[in-house]
Structures are given as C-alpha cells and as structure tokens.
Amino acid sequence: GEDVEQSLFLSVREGDSSVINCTYTDSSSTYLYWYKQEPGAGLQLLTYIFSNMDMKQDQRLTVLLNKKDKHLSLRIADTQTGDSAIYFCAESKDYKLSFGAGTTVTVRA
C-alpha cells in the first residue's frame, strides 16, 4: 500500500466527529473506498466514491474527495464505541485495490 498514505492513529471522544484522512497517487483511479476492520475480522466495505464526485453522504458517514490534491477523507459523525476499529483507504488500480496502512481509531468515553 505504498501508493496510499494515511495517518496511523486517531483518538476521539465518544459523541464527537472523527475525520480520517488519506492521500493517493493514481489520478486515474476510478473509485476510492473506505473499509473497516474490527479485531479478528475481515475488512468490511463502508463506502466508496466515484472519482467524478466531490462528496458522498451515507447516514453518519461523509466522504470528501479532492481530486486535484488526491485527498480523500472519511468523517464519522457522533462517533460511538462500536466505531473503534482500523479504517483503510483504498484506490482502484487496474484489476485490484491498493490499500493504505490503515488508521486505528480509538473511541474514548
């Protein structure tokens, strides 16, 4: 995942908003994704955004895409303890997804 970069850790208070940031390198990526991995589990697709969109909202999740800066962010509103997990940003390249290293989000009471 060396082409996709994200910060490694985020600590947030319960009820606050979380913002996870990601930068990618391939401007030809058609889709960008956010996955969630809980301890001992596989990766769960949270949401994706098509490259011609700037924003996508899905309940508590808001994805912002700045294609010029190749910057993607995921905002989680009203963060809950169940949101504690590792969040991966990914870009589509040819036939595969390339993942970032993941951001570990810890929700504190």
Partner 1 sequence: DSGVTQTPKHLITATGQRVTLRCSPRSGDLSVYWYQQSLDQGLQFLIQYYNGEERAKGNILERFSAQQFPDLHSELNLSSLELGDSALYFCASSGTGRANYGYTFGSGTRLTVV
Give whichever of 96 and 109 is closer to partner 1, judged by the CB atom: 96
Token pair 């809980």 is found at 38
- Identity of the residue, 39 or 109, whose beta carbon is nearer to partner 1 in the bound complex: 39
CB nearer to partner 1: pick between 64 and 101: 101
Tokens of 78: 């009203």
Closest approach of partner 1 to the CB of residue 49, in Å = 11
72 CA to centre of own chain: 7
Distance CA 56, CA 11 (A): 24
- Chain center to CA of 42: 15
Q: Which residues bind partner 1 (CB under 8 A)?
A: 1, 30-31, 33, 35, 40-45, 48, 88, 92, 94-102
